[in-house]
Structures are given as C-alpha cells and as structure tokens.
Amino acid sequence: MGIITIDYQTISMIAVLMFALVGFMRGWLKEGITTVLLILLVAVVFKPELVTPLLVVANQIVKLLKAVLINLPGGPKPAAGAQAELKDIFTPENPYNFLIWTLLFFIGLSYLGSKVAFKDEGLSPLSRILGGVLGAFNGFIAVSLFREFLVRYFQGLTMEQRAAMAALQAGAPPPQGVSVAIQNVPQQPFLQSVAPWVIILMAAILGLVILSRIFKWQLK
C-alpha cells in the first residue's frame, strides 16, 4: 500500500488562493456574509456548549430520517418508535463532528444563498479587491476551523466512541490502494494561529480605504 504525503501548509495555501479568487469574483458584500458566518463558528471554538440546543434538534432530525430510510428488526415500526432505538450521532460532550458539518453547511449556504439573494451586478475594482482580501481571510479561517474541530473531535472521543471505532477497524478488511498522510500540521492554539491574519486583514482593509480616497474608487 502506498502513502501520499501532503504538506498542510500547501493545502492551506491552495484553499486561501481559491477562496481569494472566488471572493474577487463575488465582491466584498457577498464575501462578507461568509466572513460573518465563519466568525460565529470562531466564537463556538471558545464556547462549544452554545451549540448544545442545536445538537438536540440535529439528533432528532437524523434519527427521524434514519427511521424512515432503514428497516429495523421486528418489522415495520412507526417513525417515533424506531427513533427511540437509534443512538445519538452528536453528543454535547464532543460536539466537534457536528461543528465540522456545520462549517461545511455554512460555507455552502453563504455561497449559494448570497447568489440567490443578491443580483449579479457590475462590481467596482475596490469591491473586487476587498472581496479577494476577505476571501483569502475566509479561506484561512475555514481551514483553521476544520483542523481545530477535527483535532478536538479525536481528542475528545468518549470510551464508547473509541470502542465503536476500534470494532469497526478490527472488522474491516486490510487497507488497499493508496493512503494519504498530512504533515507539518500546526500545533499552536487556534487564537494564536489566527491572530496574525486578523492583523493582516485589518491592515489590508485600511490600505484599501486609503487608496479608495486617493483614486476616488466607489464601493458597490
């Protein structure tokens, strides 16, 4: 079995460049919506208990969907009865798998929702440049959040979750094909890794405001 090693910094740079390109095409207003949603998730890094009410609702929805889609032993049962026999996927003690899905949902929602909510009109150079700056910032925050949630999820696995994962690995056939390993993953705390980018973003916005005054660019 071969192993492909990928550098984390390379993945981060590709994501930042892709987000920056998309932000340049969308403009600052649409990209700003993504920034707001990502900032909400940054707050959850420090207060994960805030998502507990959402976990309860998400578990109920997933259980209901599973009860509809699968047949439990003993014949057909009402959805409510089948729902009670299914285990929770998301737990308040380790909500980070839920937060990973929430991160992906927020990114998709911001890009698709803003496309529907805002008309595609001509963008000024300042709007495109600012959108590119916000896009690069969003890309870095998204990658950092994904890394943070994933690391915290594996660090916070409950004994039941670890046992289930070990049983799944024990019953799985030997791995075939190619495996992917990621190296040089930053070990510093989330806030420490994000702080320099916040400073860069603020400096870039200040520079753009100054240039807009000099060249009389319009923000639209």
Structural tokens at position 52: 């507990």
- Domain presence at residue 84: yes
- Domain presence at residue 109: yes
pLDDT of residue 81: 47
Kind of pairing between the strands at 178-183 and 2-7 = parallel
Angle between helices 8-26 and 125-155 (to 10 degrees): 140
- Domain presence at residue 107: yes
pLDDT of residue 79: 47
pLDDT of residue 183: 74
Is 27 within 8 Å of 118 (Cβ atoms)?
no
Range of the domain at 94: 2-171+180-215
pLDDT of residue 210: 65
The parts of the chain modelled with pLDDT lower than 50 are 75-76, 78-84
Total structural domains within the chain:
1
Model pTM above 0.85: no
- Domain presence at residue 198: yes
- 126 burial (CB, 10 Å; 0-12 / 13-18 / 19+) is buried
- Domain presence at residue 220: no
Is 146 within 8 Å of 105 (Cβ atoms)?
no
